[in-house]
């Protein structure tokens, strides 16, 4: 008799969870669908977030302008912002041409550094023999001051684009390798075991679990690497070049043409900032799920 009563009751106890009819509109208690915020709302949101850094930038310009306007420093040492901007406007073609060269070298160096760095990291993570062999060499390549060996590359590779790219690669490579190795090693070991019970081969595990899981770490490295790549390209231009922003700055310095020097510096910083922002945008598009981008995702109280 007791058997009979037990078999009758579970049906009711299990009912609440199983009651949702399949295929029905997902009406979950306490969850209300809401429309996406409109364009106006998003614009004010963006402004709200971005006015502070813009204001700080303007404050810096104002301070610079005040210093040069009150003649605290001689104009041939620090030109006024007005003069600098005028030079940028007047010599836009000349600056643009050299900016393009530096950007090109930076990007090429960065891309090569990423490809080689990611590949080296993957090989090192999958083979401890390779890791033990390669790590000291990598570290050595990193601690040698790139500026000190830059002239050597000019001797070896000439005045063309090659030595700039080599230096950019050398300088940007290290953060990529380190971040990728960390990322690949930070994968949940249970996830790897689970993947083994799913019958996944090493390639599948890499493509579906290890690689995506390492991307947040990789992007941290990429952001460092892309700014360093600019430095690398300019260092390459300093030691021997007839084009590029490094050459522009060196020329301007020799001619005591400080407005042009400052213009070069400004453009160079802009390249770095733009590339950094591009990497950050790529990160946001590729990793919307990562904790660092959840600021205004779904869960806030209201």
Partner 1 sequence: MTMAEETLAEPAAARSGPGDGAAVDLDDVAVRFRTKKKDVTALRQVSLSVAMGEFVAIVGPSGCGKSTLLKLVAGLLRPSAGDVRLRGEAVTGPRRDIGYVFQRAALLEWRSARRNILLQAEMRRMPGAEARKRADELIDMTGLRGFEDAYPHELSGGMQQRVALCRALLHRPPVLLMDEPFGALDALTREQMNIELNRIWRETGTTVLLVTHSIAEAVYLADRVVVMSARPGTVVEIIEVGLPAERDYAETMAREEFSAATTRIRRLLGAASGAE
**For partner 1, which stretch binds (CB under 8 A), given 196-204, 231-239, 253-261, 276-284?**
196-204
Q: Smallest distance from the beta carbon of 24 to partner 1, in angstroms?
A: 8
The interface with partner 1 within residues 269-298 (CB under 8 A) comprises: 287, 289-291, 294, 298
Are the beta carbons of 193 and 138 closer than 8 angstroms?
no
Instruction: Name 245's Cβ contacts closer than 8 Å, sequence gap at least 6.
Output: 98, 99, 101, 102, 234, 237, 264, 267, 268, 271
Q: What is the DSSP letter of 36?
A: P
Residue 5 sits in the site that holds partner 1 (CB under 8 A): yes
d(CA 145, CA 110): 18
Which CB atom, from 10 or from 254, has the smaller least distance to partner 1? 10
Report the alpha-carbon distance of residue 80 to residue 56 in Å, rounded: 18
Could you say which of 116, 209, 220, 266 contacts partner 1 (CB under 8 A)?
A: 209
**Residue 220 binds partner 1, judged by CB under 8 A:** no
207: which DSSP letter?
I
CA distance 233 to 103: 8
Q: Compute CA distances 265 → 52, 85, 157, 272, 300, whole Å.
A: 23, 12, 26, 11, 42
Question: What is the torsional sign of CA 227, 232, 235, 240?
Answer: negative
Q: How far is the CB of 289 from partner 1 (least distance, A)?
A: 4
Contact pattern from residue 11 through residue 50 relative to partner 1, giving x for each residue in contact according to CB under 8 A and a dash for the rest? --xx--xx-x-x-x-xxx--x-------------------
| Sole binder of partner 1 in the list 208, 220, 224, 276 (CB under 8 A) | 208
What is the Cα–Cα distance from 63 to 60, expressed in whole angstroms? 5
User: Which of the residues 173 through 192 are near partner 1 (CB under 8 A)?
Assistant: 188, 190-191
Our finding on whether 254 is near partner 1 (CB under 8 A) is: no
**Which residues bind to partner 1, rule: CB under 8 A?**
2-3, 5-7, 9-10, 13-14, 17-18, 20, 22, 24, 26-28, 31, 188, 190-191, 193-200, 204, 208-209, 212-213, 287, 289-291, 294, 298-299
């Amino acid at each position: 008799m007791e058997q009979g009563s037990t078999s009758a009751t579970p049906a009711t106890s299990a009912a609440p969870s199983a009651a949702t009819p399949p295929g029905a509109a997902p009406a979950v208690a306490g969850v209300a669908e809401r429309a996406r915020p409109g364009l106006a709302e998003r614009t004010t949101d963006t402004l709200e977030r971005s006015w502070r850094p813009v204001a700080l930038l303007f404050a810096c310009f104002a301070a610079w302008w005040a210093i040069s306007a009150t003649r605290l420093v001689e104009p041939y040492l620090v030109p006024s912002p007005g003069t600098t901007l005028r030079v940028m406007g007047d010599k836009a073609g000349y600056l643009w041409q050299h900016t393009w060269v530096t950007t090109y070298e930076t990007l090429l160096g960065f891309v090569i550094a990423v490809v080689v760095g990611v590949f080296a990291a993957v090989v090192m993570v999958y083979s401890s023999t390779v890791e033990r062999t390669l790590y000291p060499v990598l570290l050595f390549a990193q601690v040698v001051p790139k500026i000190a060996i830059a002239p050597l590359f000019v001797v070896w590779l000439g005045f063309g684009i090659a030595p700039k790219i080599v230096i950019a690669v050398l300088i940007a490579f290290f953060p990529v390798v380190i971040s990728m190795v960390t990322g690949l090693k930070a994968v949940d070991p249970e996830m790897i075991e689970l993947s083994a019970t799913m019958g996944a081969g090493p390639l599948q595990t890499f493509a579906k679990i290890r690689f995506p899981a390492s991307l947040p770490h990789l992007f941290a490295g990429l952001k460092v690497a892309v700014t360093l790549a600019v430095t690398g390209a300019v260092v390459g231009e300093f030691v021997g070049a007839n084009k590029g922003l490094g050459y522009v700055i060196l020329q301007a310095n020799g001619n005591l043409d400080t407005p042009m020097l400052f213009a070069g510096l400004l453009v160079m910083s802009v390249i770095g900032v733009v590339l950094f922002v591009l990497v950050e945008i790529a990160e946001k598009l590729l990793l919307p799920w990562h904790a660092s981008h959840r600021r205004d995702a779904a869960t806030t109280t209201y």
